[in-house]
Amino acid sequence: MEKLHCAVVDIANERLDVSAAIEFVSDPGFGGIAMFVGRVRDMNHGRRVAGVSYDLFDVLAVNIFKEIASDTLHEFDGKLKIFVTHAKGRLGIGDLAVVVAVGSPHRDEAFRACRMVIEKVKHQAPIWKQEHYEDGNSEWSEGCSLCEVHDHAQHAGEHASGH
């Protein structure tokens, strides 16, 4: 039984699929599904947004999605199915940017695991967002340094292995 689905979706070819996410994480033994759907909004820091472009380092992004999903699965003793997809390319207002879904026996694990996955995807995966404003300007959004994330993870690993 496949428990993890992780992918980058080039929106020039297809769109993110919420129904596919629900179907993937469904299981006869699972009574709960939690989902996070990220959409493009029309305003950021007081500026009218016309759209956004996402750039990804595809191969590494999928590897990191898999690491995040595997770690989360381990954290919850394997009793989950996890679906992670992120869009690549130019999106308009309301378009789907990211879909994370988690199925589990009960709602508490589903909510907590879903939150864990989306937070790590936002902070650890090689994804960059460029906002296009209605005034014609575009800017890359401020982000999280992977140096700090990596150092923190490395430190946590060294700490854990010492006990």
Q: Under the rule (CB under 8 A), what is the footprint of other proteins?
A: 38, 54-57, 59-60, 63, 86, 97-98, 118, 121-130, 140-147, 150-151, 154
Dihedral in degrees, nearest 10, Cα atoms 129, 135, 136, 138: -20
Residue 31 beta carbon to other proteins: minimum distance, rounded to whole angstroms: 27
Residue 65 beta carbon to other proteins: minimum distance, rounded to whole angstroms: 10
Residues 6+ apart with CB under 8 A from 101: 21, 22, 24, 25, 33, 34, 35, 36, 82, 83, 114
> Which phi and psi (to 5°) does residue 147 adopt?
-60, -45
Of 66 and 79, which CB lies nearer to other proteins in the complex structure?
66
Residue 43 beta carbon to other proteins: minimum distance, rounded to whole angstroms: 17
Residues 6+ apart with CB under 8 A from 114: 34, 35, 36, 100, 101, 102
Of 48 and 155, which CB lies nearer to other proteins in the complex structure?
155
Of 38 and 105, which CB lies nearer to other proteins in the complex structure?
38
Residue 96 beta carbon to other proteins: minimum distance, rounded to whole angstroms: 11
Of 144 and 156, which CB lies nearer to other proteins in the complex structure?
144
**What is the amino acid identity at position 117?**
V
